[in-house]
Amino acid sequence: MGGSQKLPLLIIGKFERPRCMKNIKTLPVTYKANKKAWMTGKIFEEWLRKLDRKFLLRGRSIALIVDDCSDHPLLDGLRAVRLIFLPPIMLQPCDQGIIQNLKYLYRKRVLPRFIALFDDSGSDDAHYKLTVLDAINYAAASWEKVKQETIANCFRKAGFTKVNDGEVVTTTTTSSDGPSATAETKHLSLREIAAQSEKTPFELEEDEDEDIESGKEQAIVSNNEAESAISTLRLYRQQHETSSEDLTLLNNMERRLSKIMTTAKKAVRHQVFFKPIQKDSHQM
């Protein structure tokens, strides 16, 4: 509610195995897929149970506030996460400006890529087309830029506040129809909101496997290519005004890459040293 901690984005695409992600082993988001790129009860359950295990291992308990819709089923067996379903009369905090701010920051990152197309007419147009991997990286970077104050303000705008004992309450306003309409303001705790929910478990639908997305397959980047890219990026930053933190980050990346390359070379030498000797059949 205060915006100090943000979970990685859950991004849902149409393809389970896009070509652009063939050799990708790490993503900055949680990626799922179904044929309509929609949230489903199955995806929600998989994501939520993984989140529950994560917080259970950390010894923490959280309340997760979600919309009361069919794709957000009530799940049994959760130990660290408590689901709070918002009643229809309440707007969720994400709709109060968090999603809008995320989309603004995303477009701000994508737009320069398309502007470059007009500045460099000799470039291949395919270079400027966004892949699923591009969109994921842009979205994750944009989510990191959403400020804590923005999240806190949107929760406050949705009516979520804290009382003296630390309990979270929400403020809802209802009005009567007619010429003598009156407005009534109610303060509800999260416990009361949960008690109002009539959510019942339902059977989850199975998603069909998707075909592999057509598109450019990402080539595997070698250690030498990665090392060269870091050196080029460092030189670029040094030729322009930059902070020492940027250079420190690049130096740390180069140091970690050097350790990876050293470990790989040792593994190769170990394999060569212990390679069995092949006897020539003519000498037997």
Helix (H, G, I), strand (E, B) or coil at 12: strand
Among the residues of 26-96, which ranges form H helices?
Answer: 41-57
Helical packing angle, 223-238 and 244-273, nearest 10°? 160
Question: What is the pTM for the complete model shown?
Answer: 0.67
What is residue 251's predicted lDDT score, i.e. its pLDDT?
A: 82
How far apart CA 236 and CA 16 sit, in angstroms, is 36
Structure tokens at 19: 């070509």
Looking at the DSSP bridge assignments, the partners of residue 183 are 175
Residuewise pLDDT in 10s, the chain (284 residues):
677 889 999 999 999 989 888 888 889 999 999 999 999 999 999 999 999 999 999 999 998 988 888 889 888 999 999 998 888 777 888 999 999 999 999 999 888 877 776 666 555 565 667 889 989 999 999 999 999 999 999 988 888 876 555 555 555 544 444 444 334 445 566 566 556 555 544 444 444 444 445 456 777 888 888 888 888 888 888 787 767 777 788 888 888 888 887 776 666 555 555 555 555 555 54
Residue 112 CB coordination number (10 Å): 9
Kindly list the domain boundaries of the chain, sorted by start residue.
223-274
Is 187 within 8 Å of 201 (Cβ atoms)?
Answer: no
How far apart CA 130 and CA 122 sit, in angstroms, is 18
